[in-house]
């Protein structure tokens, strides 16, 4: 039997395999709220413009409200034979109100319908993710203010570089997440145009008011070109790109948590509720939440690549390939939302092990740059020469198995005779971090000031 929604041209129904590959209801039923909202806006516009009688539109609106209630209560039966959420809603509407239901699709196509629904969904997702990112930024900023003076090693190449503060490290992620948040906000602003009324691809001969439906749905304006309105998914790609970048940031922090919580580092203690044990080794406390957050970045990156590949060869306007846009987007945004929530929980309960961090910061000649800077300031030495002298002193300390601060003054003077006792004032990690007062530097006062500024911005 031909599909009653589009079967006039066909004498026979689709093969079971065709139905299997063609149906999208299993995943696009998630768009039910957006589909009903957009349909109600379209119906009201049809009444206002006189395209459909107000009497029929009232029936349509009442029927759509009933369908929304059925879906929310779990009483609605989704049919794979009806392919997608749009046909499922329209078929049920016909069962409820009769022939008037057939007027709802006047002056629109499933092409502009799905583009509208999906934009509404992605817009809502952007708002949700923005709020989650804000909450995670707040958690990092609270940790930054609380631990503005806790000294830890800063790394390059995962080797000790210079002392920083734990608070400063936390603020680095606040800044990354702030850019992530702005990417979602930018993407939301660009996607906030309405495809509704573009119909299949060429617009419609009915006197529709696309500005009216755009305003009712909270869009800034209708899209200016009907071909573009139904044929592009760059709004999804942009959001997935923002999601991929965000999960990369989250994955990097997850990697640090895995390293820091290991027995070899013991820099931080993770809360029990975000760790697991071993089935055989009773001493184990595995950072599984962090590891899974790190792994799940691959899903989000994969979703972006998937949709880029789907779209890369499609001519204008709509092709059925574009049905493959939703599953990767749904999964990616669900994954990002989950990881953001898990990260917030871990960051809020994170406990730095201050004595281990301080001890690690003092090893590995982390104040070597401070020594070089002192040679420049105190002895008016060119930096390249100061770098060379400091390198020689590091080699001497390494040979003796001591840190720079443990070298005797005579040993230093054997390398550079002008070095004085004052050099020891720059060789402690406390003085090192206090000296980094440049804007954006790790000095505790800087960190406290910036953390408080962020907390005020975040509300």
Q: What is the spatial distance between Cα 67 and Cα 189, in angstroms, rounded to a whole number?
A: 31
Q: What is the spatial distance between Cα 35 and Cα 204, in angstroms, rounded to a whole number?
A: 20
Query: DSSP per residue over 92-135, as a string?
Result: HHHHHHGGGGGGTTTT--HHHHHHHHHHHHHHHHHHHHHHHHHH
**Dihedral angle sign, alpha carbons of residues 62, 68, 69, 71:** positive
Structural tokens at position 292: 């899974």
| SS3 per residue for 199-224 | CCCCCCCCCCCHHHHHHHCCCCEECC
- Of 73, 157, 205, 279, which is the active-site residue? 157
Q: What is the spatial distance between Cα 140 and Cα 176, in angstroms, rounded to a whole number?
A: 11
Q: Return contacts of 407-416, CB within 8 angstroms, 24+ apart.
A: 415/389, 416/375, 416/379, 416/389
Burial class (CB in 10 A: 0-12, 13-18, 19+), 318: buried
- Of 278, 319, 363, 425, which is the active-site residue? 278
Q: What is the spatial distance between Cα 249 and Cα 294, in angstroms, rounded to a whole number?
A: 9
Q: What is the spatial distance between Cα 443 and Cα 451, in angstroms, rounded to a whole number?
A: 12
Q: In which element (H, E) is residue 194 found?
A: strand 193-194
The b-or-e profile of 237-264 (16+ CB within 10 A means b, else e) is: bbbbbbbbbbbebbbebbebbbbbbeee
Q: What is the spatial distance between Cα 187 and Cα 181, in angstroms, rounded to a whole number?
A: 10
Evaluate whether 48 touches 206 at the Cβ level (below 8 Å): no
The length of the chain is: 459
Q: Is 193 helix (H, G, I), strand (E, B) or coil?
A: strand
Q: What is the spatial distance between Cα 26 and Cα 331, in angstroms, rounded to a whole number?
A: 13
Q: Residue 284, Cβ neighbours under 10 Å: how many? A: 11
Given 3-state DSSP classes, what are the helix, strand and coil percentages for the chain, each rounded to the nearest 5? Answer: 70, 5, 25
387 is catalytic: no
278 is catalytic: yes
Positions marked catalytic:
157, 278
């Amino acid at each position: 039997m031909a599909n009653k929604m589009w079967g006039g041209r066909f004498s026979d129904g689709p093969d079971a395999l065709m139905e299997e590959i063609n149906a999208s209801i299993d995943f696009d039923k998630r768009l039910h709220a957006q589909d009903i909202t957009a349909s109600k806006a379209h119906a009201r516009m049809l009444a206002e413009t006189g395209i459909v009688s107000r009497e029929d539109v009232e029936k349509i609106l009442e029927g759509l409200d009933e369908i929304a209630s059925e879906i929310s209560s779990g009483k609605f039966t989704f049919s794979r034979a009806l392919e997608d959420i749009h046909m499922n809603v329209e078929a049920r509407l016909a069962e409820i109100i009769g022939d008037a239901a057939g007027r709802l699709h006047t002056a629109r196509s499933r092409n502009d319908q799905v583009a509208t629904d999906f934009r509404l969904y992605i817009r809502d997702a952007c708002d949700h993710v923005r709020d989650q990112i804000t909450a995670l930024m707040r958690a990092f900023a609270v940790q930054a203010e609380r631990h503005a003076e806790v000294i830890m090693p800063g790394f390059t190449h995962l080797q000790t570089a210079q002392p920083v503060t734990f608070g400063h490290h936390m603020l680095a992620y606040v800044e990354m997440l702030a850019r992530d948040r702005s990417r979602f906000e930018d993407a939301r602003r660009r996607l906030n145009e309405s495809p509704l009324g573009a119909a299949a691809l060429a617009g419609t001969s009915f006197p529709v008011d696309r500005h009216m439906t755009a305003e009712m749905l909270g869009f800034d304006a209708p899209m200016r070109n009907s071909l573009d309105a139904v044929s592009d998914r760059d709004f999804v790609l942009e959001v997935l790109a923002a999601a991929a970048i965000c999960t990369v940031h989250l994955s990097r922090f997850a990697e640090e948590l895995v390293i820091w919580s290991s027995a070899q580092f013991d820099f931080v203690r993770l809360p029990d509720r975000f760790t697991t044990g071993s089935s055989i080794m009773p001493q184990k406390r595995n950072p599984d939440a962090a590891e899974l957050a790190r792994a799940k970045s691959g899903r989000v990156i994969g979703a972006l690549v998937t949709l880029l590949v789907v779209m890369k060869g499609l001519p204008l306007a709509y092709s059925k390939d574009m049905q493959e846009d939703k599953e990767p987007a749904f999964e990616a945004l669900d994954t990002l939302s989950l990881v953001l929530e898990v990260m917030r929980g871990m960051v809020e309960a994170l406990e730095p092990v201050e004595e281990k961090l301080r001890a690690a910061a003092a090893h590995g000649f982390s104040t070597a740059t401070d020594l070089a800077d002192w040679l420049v300031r105190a002895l008016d030495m060119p930096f390249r020469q100061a770098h060379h002298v400091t390198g020689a002193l590091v080699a001497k300390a390494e040979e003796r198995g001591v840190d720079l601060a443990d070298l005797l003054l005579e040993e230093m003077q054997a390398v550079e005779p002008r070095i004085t006792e004052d050099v020891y004032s720059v060789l402690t990690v406390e003085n090192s971090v206090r000296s980094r007062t440049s804007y954006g530097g790790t000095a505790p006062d800087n960190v406290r000031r910036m953390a408080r500024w962020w907390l005020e911005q975040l509300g």
